[in-house]
Amino acid sequence: MLIRFGYEITVNCWTPTDMVTLLQIRDGREGDLRAPETFSTDPFVESHVYRDLFGNACRRFVAPPGDLTLRGDGMMEVSDLPEVHPVEAEQHPVADLPDDCLVYLVGSRYCEIDRLSQLAWDRFGPVAPGWARVQAISDYAHARIAFDYQNARHTRTAFDAHEEQTGVCRDFAHLAIALYRCMNIPARYVNGYLGDIAVPLRLPMDFSAWVEVYLGGQWRPVDPRNNMARIGRIAIAHGRDAADVAMVTSFGPHILNRFLVWAEEVWAPDHALMVHG
């Protein structure tokens, strides 16, 4: 299956403003690209890419006064089957975890494990460790929070989401991450593309947030917002929580004038024209 993915974002600044964006897909999927991932700006600005502490591709530039449009586009081949959940994957004792997993066991800006630890152990302690526990926490977060764009708030933490019982995909992810960490399961926040492929179209397209847990020797996707196997997940960035993967960081005031995201299936003939002609 071929998925065309990309975005068009327009910001307006009053003065020259330094910016950093995390909008480029993570390294490791180059072999799946069937058309190169492109980036452009209107008007043109110089930019360069560096890698942050989590290996994410960060683009740095200075936005000029007035409107600046950022555009990205690409095409990737993905499996046309839903992702498979690793029901036999084991949960590792903390002593056996790789060193680089430990940062994903402790509290972070939006994931206050100290405020949720007792709840987690009371509710999920009796559940068998491994995928059963991972799924039980995803089920809980999915049922606990009602999705509502109108109630989005960038300051909402995992504990807030649990108590308010409302939010958007980042809130589902933060609550699940905090509960996973309480149960000694390394968990990290992922931002990326997830189109409505093989599911009913429900909302305007946006970037999506989900979770990865370290289980059975590798990182596995978990999606408490949708709580079901999906097709065509494309990761852009990961970190401890949303604070580490902001799509646009502006070192000065700006207004968001346009925000468009796409991730949709395309047919092979269109692909052939795009790549070869």
Q: What is the pLDDT of residues 217-275, one digit of tens each?
A: 999 999 999 999 999 999 999 999 999 999 999 999 999 999 999 999 997 654 444 44
Number of domains the chain is built from: 2
Cα(50)–Cα(36) distance, rounded to whole angstroms?
19
Nearest CA to 174 out of 221, 241, 116 is that of 241
Residue 221 maps to a domain: yes
Q: pLDDT tens digits for 94-138? A: 999 999 999 999 999 999 999 999 999 999 999 999 999 999 999
Residue 9: which domain range? 2-80+246-276
- DSSP strand pairing (146-147 vs 66-77): unpaired
Both tokens of residue 242?
A: 């949303």
CATH of the domain at 235: 3.10.620.30
User: H or E stretch including 197?
Assistant: none
Please tell me the pTM assigned to this model: 0.93
| 64 plus 49 within the same structural domain | yes
